[in-house]
Amino acid sequence: MKRISQTTTLLATLLGAGCALAQGFNDAPPNGAAYDQEPAFAGQTRAPALPDDVALTQAVLAEGLDHPWGLAALPDGSWLVTERPGRMRVIGADGAMGDPVQGLPQVDARDQGGLHDVAVADDFERTRRVWWTYAEPRGDGQNATAVATGILSNDGTQMQDVTRIWQQNPAWASTKHFGARIVHDGQGHIHVGVGERSNPEPRQLAQDPQATLGKTIRIDAIDGSPAGAGIEGAMPEIWTMGHRNIQGAAMGPDGSLWMSEHGPKGGDELNLIKPGRNHGWPLATYGTDYDGSQMGQTQVEGTVQPVYYWDPSPALSGMIFYDGQMFPEWQGDALLGGLQASAVIRLDIEGEKVTGEARHLQGIGRVRDIEVAQDGALVLITDEDNGKLIRVTRGD
């Protein structure tokens, strides 16, 4: 692994108004067109392309990461990064790469498994507390998403007092759809969005209130005790149900909780998460199966519609709402990583409706997670064999 000199890797990306309008990300026909799929309301998909005249400059801070997945900012300007094979490391603001942090639990790193999201406490400077999600091996080829917390040593080399505070149940023999993003609610709890394990049989458990597959959960951030929505007949940590594979999550400027998830072939969703809601999967979807067959209905009684959906799929990942000084015209906009789209997707959201979409840095790589640096720059990671930590600044 290497630190890369910023002076040799600067690339300017000019996104003029005409360029943004000509990006063509809404030009492809929907996968669901053969089934006469229609949005439930105007603006639910294919929002107008946002014009933009901001010049963006990229600098690769570090490369050689092995499928990085989670990214968290530290108070000193450095970054905590997870790598799917089971490593977590500190990378300095200058790109200096630390050795893997010791003391993490074993992960099942097959296929989509491994070490996933990472989050730090608001008072990290004092407590040095860290949370992470991972695919936990459970024996006989089975596994499930788990959440752990620990204290990062002052030198950033050791995770101490490690405690697993939550396990997804039931475990399953699958290597797909673990989720799993972490969001703090500011009240001493964390929300975690977890997948339904992909296979046809466990997929149905997204509608089972006695299973935590395909759910969002809310637990105490320290001891993992359940703090769910109080859904009748449901496990006590469940907040919402009916999800496929949540890959992005963030608190909006007004304190509302948003999550994005992968659809099958098309049907990626942006959802406003409110307690007790059923988001429909696998009964309701705007996606089709990978063989092109219809999977469900687009509207099902008792389920809520996504605020926005994509068809074809950009393969959504990490998500933030921009809050910084470098890009004032983006203030409050949602920024989502696009894996298949190889871009940063920006959404203008007014209330509970998406009113515009732009795609920046197209071709940059599989954007897995995004954060905002202290100076308002974007910092992102690309989920690839040679994954990169990239800083994006204003270039005009």
Q: DSSP for 103-152?
A: -PPP---STT-SEEEEEE-TTHHHH-EEEEEEEEEEETTEEEEEEEEEEE
Q: How far apart are CA 362 and CA 340, in angstroms?
A: 10
Strands of 268-273's sheet, edge to edge? 246-251, 257-261, 268-273, 308-310
Q: Given 177, 191, 279, 360, which residue is catalytic?
A: 177
Strands of 238-241's sheet, edge to edge? 181-184, 189-193, 215-220, 238-241
Q: Is position 191 annotated as part of the catalytic site?
A: no
Three-state secondary-structure class, residue 96: coil
Nearest-CA neighbor of 390 among 356, 363, 357? 363
288 contacts 294 by C-beta, under 8 angstroms: yes
Q: How far apart are CA 105 and CA 148, in angstroms?
A: 9
What lies within 8 Å, CB to CB, of 123 at 6+ separation is: 129
Q: How far apart are CA 117 and CA 363, in angstroms?
A: 24
Nearest-CA neighbor of 166 among 236, 62, 98, 94? 236
Tokens (6 digits) for 343:
């871009």
The catalytic residues are 177
